[in-house]
Structure 1
């Protein structure tokens, strides 16, 4: 819902390709990156903001890894 009805992807990415690709490949990482870029004061991943997409990446990798074991 956030991706469809807000301008978060437009503020975080320069094109439509990366958020669309990220939505299908690594959705939690993409959402974490968008939130970190929009919530940080300078629009960068400085400070602790890099942790948000990092946690999303761990979630995505864990989720796909658990699905591969089935």
Structure 2
């Protein structure tokens, strides 16, 4: 958000649409990082950490999206 606010100082994440977009961006990043671990052939311990980390991030952001669906 700091990067976006450097261009648009009055940017807000208080609207449902803004919160949904931010959650979707975060889900996208977590999934890209997860998928990229295979072709990058990370060490097994790092891959295990990344799979756990990405699953937690996706779950967190789905929880953000759930109340916005109403």
Q: Scaled by the length of structure 2, what TM-score is found?
A: 0.39
Task: Find the structure with the greater CA-based Rg.
Answer: 2
- Greater RCO (CA < 8 Å, at least 6 residues apart): 2
- Going by fraction, where is helix more abundant, 1 or 2? 2
